[in-house]
Amino acid sequence: MEKKLICVSCPIGCELTARIENGVVTSVTGNRCPHGEAYARQEAIDPMRVLPTSVRVIGGELPLVSVKTDQPVPKRLIWQIMDHIRTLSIEAPVKIGQVLAENIMETGANLVATREVRLAQEQSPSRSALFE
Ligand code: SF4
């Protein structure tokens, strides 16, 4: 069997063909460099993706913080990982790059914040309260 793929390792986007026999990639053609072969061998058998999503924040100026895995995780595990991420919450403040979960679902990837969330400002007294 053959699988047609586009290499996403650089902007050239070579059109790759991976030949698969008995669940093993036996050859890759169409790549202009070794990155394409490595990409096709992984993508044809067990595709990997960086997972961007968000996590609940407690006591922050925003209710959610954007996050992503710091390395690709198996695409076949993404829904399980999302179910796990939905159970997480983090207390503000959150810094960019802060690790919110290590080795998520035993994939070796950490979940890191991709933006800052400061503590929620304390409510300032209302105008009328100031003049009472
Ligand atoms: S095979 Fe090499 S040159 Fe072609 S898209 Fe992939 S990284 Fe770029």
Q: What is the pLDDT of residues 5-27, one digit of tens each?
A: 999 999 999 999 999 999 999 99
Is 130 inside any structural domain?
no
Is 72 found in the same domain as 107? Answer: yes
Nearest to 93 by CA among 60, 67, 115, 124: 60
Which residue among 14, 16, 39 is best mutated to probe the pocket of ligand 1, counting the most ligand atoms within 8 A of its Cβ?
14
Is 22 inside any structural domain?
yes
The answer to whether the predicted template modeling score (pTM) of the entire model surpasses 0.85 is: no
Q: Given pLDDT bands bounded at 50, 70 and 90, which one contains residue 33? A: very high
Is 82 found in the same domain as 39? Answer: no
Which residue among 8, 31, 39 is best mutated to probe the pocket of ligand 1, counting the most ligand atoms within 8 A of its Cβ?
31
Q: 69: which DSSP letter? A: E
Checking DSSP bridges between strand 64-69 and strand 111-113, what pairing results, if any?
antiparallel
Contacts of 65 (CB under 8 A, 6+ apart): 54, 55, 57, 90, 94, 100, 113, 114, 115, 117
Is 122 inside any structural domain?
no
